[in-house]
Amino acid sequence: MKVAIVLGTRPEIIKLAPIIKKLGSKKCSVIFTGQHFDYQMGMQFIHQLELPKPNHSLKISKTNPSLQISEIIAKLSKIISREKPDTVIVQGDTNTVLAAGIASLKSNIPISHVEAGLRSYDWRMPEEHNRIAIDHLSELLFAPTNLSKNNLVSEKVHGKIFVTGNTVIDAINQFSSISKKKSKLSVAIDDYVLLTLHRSENVDNKQILSSIIKGIIDSDQDFIFPIHPRTLKRLHDFNLHAKLKKSKNILMLDSIGYFEMLELMKNCQFIMTDSGGIQEEATASSIRKKVIIVRKTTDRPEAVSSGFSEIVGTSYNEILKSLKKTSKNPRVPKKKSPYGKGNSAEIIINHLKKNL
């Protein structure tokens, strides 16, 4: 069995790392698109997790989504046609995933989709477009939960569906025990709230981003805020960066590595985020933190129904109300993660062997 694994963003690197490590370099070729254009959001994670150097690294110049996707398709198609893998493995819902799917389909290479079947039913999210398309292009669909499997069944996808858990739990199980030793971040703040924001529907909208920022400043909670490059640009564009800098309760950080993020998650009081991946990570046994979701919908409803997460929207009043309530009781229920035990990579590889 010979596979090609295509990845381009931080979450893809983290969630595909357990599969890459288990397959080994002889059985898989890694293709890195560099979709983020930023070392801190891409290659840093490959180096931190001690993954092999990608066999192919693309130089992508386009930022417009449609142009970026077409550029990746053109460059990937040449590599895939030359390597002729038994399958191309993709993870999640990025532009890289959609481009790799189209390139593979038109090269007659079966597509295997890790983390298939997630749905937010929020068409404002570019990720929703990508994940629906890739699920209908894929031959093998690795759904993390029964709920995501049911989404695929209801849409009548043509590929084979397997419930596998989520490889993000594998990654945390593998790396959380060494993150304290490996982390290069030191902060002298106790009882902080960890804040992350990056979704386009939040950070590209001045009114929404202003509402979120005003809510966290007025809450008087102490925050640690690692800032995504996209978010940083918008904070400057909307004249919000200066307000954050003047505030006494928010520590802003540049983009940080995986080990640093794990330590911040382990040691925080609770988490406020619009990230889907963090909603999953917070359910892991070594983290187990309450998550306030600053979105109107979520594609991780299992975390909400299990009591790990709560959707609060993006309005100033709701954010302020939720922060005050959660600070008084940030505990989560004594339940197992809905995303598996941490053996998802092994389950996925076994299915690949049986079906290729």
Instruction: Reply yes or no on whether 136 is catalytic.
Output: no
DSSP H or E segment with residue 319: helix 316-328
Tokens of 212: 């979120």
Task: Annotate 95-121 with b (16+ C-beta within 10 A) or e (fewer).
Answer: bbbbbbbbbbbebebbbbbbbbbbbbe
8 A C-beta contact, residue 220 and residue 248: no
Single-letter amino acid, residue 243: K
Class of residue 195 by CB neighbours under 10 A (exposed 0-12, middle 13-18, buried 19+) = buried
Does residue 310 contact residue 132 with C-beta atoms inside 8 Å? no
Of these residues, 129, 136, 198, 351, which one is catalytic? Answer: 198
Instruction: Please report how many Cα atoms fall inside a 13 Å half-sphere around the Cα of residue 305, on the Cβ side.
Output: 8
Order of strands, edge to edge, in the sheet holding 87-91? Answer: 56-57, 28-32, 3-7, 87-91, 111-114, 140-143, 160-163
CA dist list (Å): 34 to 39, 75, 100, 197, 301: 8, 12, 13, 20, 30
Q: Contact, 351 vs 164, CB < 8 A?
A: yes
How far apart are alpha carbons 175 and 285 in whole angstroms? 13
| Nearest partner of 143 among 158, 163, 121, judged by Cα | 163
Task: Give strand pairing partners of 270.
Answer: 193
Residue 50, Cβ density class (10 Å: 0-12 exposed, 13-18 middle, ≥19 buried): exposed
Tokens found for residue 141: 């669909």
DSSP characters over 24-80: -TTTEEEEE--TT--GGGTHHHHHHTTPPPPSEE------SHHHHHHHHHHHHHHHH
Q: What positions carry a catalytic annotation?
A: 198
